[in-house]
């Protein structure tokens, strides 16, 4: 029989493609993961916002404030949630941060990085109205000596550190209500740090015990400031959930010491001799 005359065998079953279903699923999942990661990166880039002019607003669920006098170069980028990044070079004066409007008693937790050359600091920074008060809880500083011309009013132990308390007066300077005369309240941490917890109520209570009265809280941010300096920071802030405690105990209680106590020998407290106030509204 001529072999060419044989009829072809008809296959009625489904011919399987090479490779297992498991490997195809793995490939699909890998592709989906790559696409999803790329989409997240794109969304993050879209949600990030770099500011160049003074302004305030809401971003990522947090209030932000950014101010510059226009000198030098400043890049202030709003990141996801409570994050912001800053980079500045040969500036006159600038300040920016993320936090809350309104401010007030909060357990503030922050982390990140901070570096500068020239005058700069990292602080929980805010304002009140009636009376108009500008306040700072300074955790880190560079080349910044605010003891000149300041009234030292004692110390407070809070959140694992010792802070010196000061009061200064600003006359006809920019503020959140325009040019005005107002007091500044300061808590300056002796041991520098970048990251940790700041229990703002402890400082408010310590100030009040020294006769430093606050008004109605406006905004409060974890701020970076530079004055005639260069540097960078990458800070993420959040409010730590409050903890219920028994009436006979407290969380991070302040420990006050008499005003006449002197700081350790050789230590120089930071002072508001050069830093300017800022109009943010």
Q: Of 149, 156, 240, give the one whose Cα is nearest residue 197.
A: 240
Q: How far apart are CA 232 and CA 96, in angstroms?
A: 12
Proportion of the chain in helix, strand, coil states, percent, rounded to 5: 15, 50, 40
Cβ atoms of 147 and 159 within 8 Å: the answer is no
Q: Give yes or no: 260 in active site.
A: no
Q: How far apart are CA 99 and CA 59, in angstroms?
A: 10
CA 197 and chain centroid, separation:
12
Among 225, 239, 244, 261, the one annotated catalytic: 225
Alpha helices, DSSP H only, in the chain? 21-47, 200-209
Dihedral pair phi/psi, residue 231, rounded to 5°: 170, -170
Q: How far apart are CA 270 and CA 148, in angstroms?
A: 8
Among 134, 157, 244, 261, the one annotated catalytic: 134
Q: Give yes or no: 109 in active site.
A: no
- Catalytically active residues are 134, 225
């Amino acid at each position: 029989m001529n072999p060419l005359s044989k009829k072809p065998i008809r296959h009625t079953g489904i011919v399987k493609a090479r490779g297992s279903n498991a490997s195809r699923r793995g490939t699909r999942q890998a592709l989906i993961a790559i696409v999803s990661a790329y989409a997240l990166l794109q969304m993050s880039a879209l949600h990030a916002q770099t500011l160049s002019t003074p302004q305030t607003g809401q971003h990522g669920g947090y209030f932000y404030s950014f101010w510059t006098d226009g000198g030098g170069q400043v890049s202030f980028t709003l990141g996801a949630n409570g994050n912001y990044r800053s980079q500045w070079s040969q500036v006159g004066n600038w300040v920016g941060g993320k936090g809350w409007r309104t401010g007030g008693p909060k357990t503030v937790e922050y982390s990140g990085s901070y570096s500068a050359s020239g005058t700069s600091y990292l602080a929980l920074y805010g304002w009140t109205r009636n009376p108009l008060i500008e306040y700072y809880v300074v955790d880190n500083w560079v080349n910044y000596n605010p003891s000149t011309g300041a009234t030292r009013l004692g110390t407070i132990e809070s959140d694992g550190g010792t802070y010196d308390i000061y009061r200064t007066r600003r006359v006809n300077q920019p503020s959140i209500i325009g040019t005005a005369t107002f007091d500044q309240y300061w808590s300056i941490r002796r041991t520098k740090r970048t990251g940790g917890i700041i229990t703002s109520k402890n400082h408010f209570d310590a100030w009040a015990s020294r006769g430093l009265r606050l008004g109605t809280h406006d905004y409060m941010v974890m701020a970076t400031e530079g004055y005639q300096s260069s540097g960078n920071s990458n800070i993420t802030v959040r409010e730590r959930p409050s903890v219920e405690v028994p009436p006979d105990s407290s969380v991070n209680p302040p420990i006050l010491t008499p005003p006449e106590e002197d700081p350790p020998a050789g230590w120089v407290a930071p002072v508001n001799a050069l830093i300017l106030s800022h109009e943010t509204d």
